[in-house]
Amino acid sequence: MPTPVIAVSHLRKTYGSTVAVDDVSLEVHEGEIFGLIGPNGAGKTTTMECVEGHRKPDSGRITVLGLDPLRDASALRQRIGVQHQEAHLHKRIKVWEAVDLWSTLYSRTVDTADLLNRLGLDTKRNAWFMTLSGGQKQRLFVALALIHDPEVVFLDELTTGLDPQARRVIWSLVTDIRSKGKTVILSTHLMEEAERLCDRVAIIEHGRVVEVGTPLELVEKHCPERRVVFTSESAGVADRFKAALGDHSVASDGATYTLQGEGEDFVTDVIHVLARQGIRIRGFRTEVPSLEDVFLKLTGHGIRD
């Protein structure tokens, strides 16, 4: 296993009597998109801010690119890019002014005109920050986070409050970042976002890591149930399925049948039975659990806004 880009062990951070992060350990590897997922207040942002070197942990060890985020803060700032949750800029700063200011702060920068072009902000160069839409603001923050060609990019709740289209644009930007070989660590409370973007996720709840893995692994491990729903006018469908598949639950509502089973092979088994028995069907769909179901199962409640 190569050395992780980010290694966190037993991180703990409290604010007075509030425990923001109780005990978080995780590793992020080079070139992956790693997601911290969990409800608001779970400790995602505090964890990220400690890793970025913006907060001093009460205890625990953190290394980023082999550096200590607090002790080596100035060296690290040249190598990481940060986008904060609910960030703002001066209301009346122009897009090009922000980009220009940021680019003077780093020893190495990318071609900013090209960067604005890629993020679709080239026509907004002279616009005041306050006149940008939510999606444009976030794209500007992505631009500012990428201006010095960082090796690791932190994106905190990047798409919160954006409409679906803007969200999709941002998602493709994030996968672009990975395709340039960078490591991305992002936090989100949108399970769909995590499932689409992240190579691996850590589920965080009450300041602790509940589970880590690829979205697929987590679904297979925690939610192996599969469900098949189809519609058929053929006679005795329920009995034929009970005979063929054993005690799997078969529920019917008129001509609509719902079969429930477990494991990878369940859907294939159902299709085989349909084919062998020559059952004619009109509609057919499968319901595979998502990361959302895993989250629900592991934490006992849904994500809340």
Partner 1 sequence: MLKGFWKLTWVETKVFAREPMGVFATLGVPVIIFLVLGRMVGADRVNSEPPPFNLPVLAALLIAVSVVISLVAVISIYREGGILKRLRATPLSPVTILGAQVVIKLVLTVIGLILLVLAGRQFFPGAMEVNLLSFTLALMLSTLSVLSLGFVIASVVPTARFAQPLAAALLYPMIAMSGLFFPVDQLPPVLGTLVQLFPTTHAVSLLLGVWDGSGWNAHWGSALGLVAVLVTCAGISTRVFRWE
Binding site for partner 1 (CB under 8 A): 52, 54, 74, 77-78, 82, 84, 86-93, 97-98, 100-102, 104-106, 128
Least distance to partner 1, CB of residue 82, Å: 5
Q: Which is nearer to partner 1, 85 or 231 (CB)?
A: 85
Least distance to partner 1, CB of residue 101, Å: 5
Least distance to partner 1, CB of residue 304, Å: 23
Least distance to partner 1, CB of residue 86, Å: 6
Least distance to partner 1, CB of residue 75, Å: 10
Q: Which is nearer to partner 1, 93 or 296 (CB)?
A: 93
Q: Which is nearer to partner 1, 52 or 195 (CB)?
A: 52
Q: Which is nearer to partner 1, 82 or 219 (CB)?
A: 82
Least distance to partner 1, CB of residue 107, Å: 9
Q: Which is nearer to partner 1, 69 or 289 (CB)?
A: 69
For the chain, the three-class secondary structure string (H helix, E strand, C coil) is CCCCCEEEEEEEEEECCEEEEEEEEEEECCCCEEEEECCCCCCHHHHHHHHHCCCCCCEEEEEECCECCCCCHHHHHCCEEEECCCCCCCCCCEHHHHHHHHHHCCCCCCCHHHHHHHCCCHHHCCCEHHHCCHHHHHHHHHHHHHCCCCCEEEEECCCCCCCHHHHHHHHHHHHHHHHCCCEEEEEECCHHHHHHHCCEEEEEECCEEEEEECHHHHHHHHCCEEEEEEECCCCCHHHHHHHHHCCCEEEEECCEEEEEEECCCHHHHHHHHHHHHCCCCCEEEEECCCHHHHHHHHHCCCCCC
Q: Which is nearer to partner 1, 104 or 172 (CB)?
A: 104
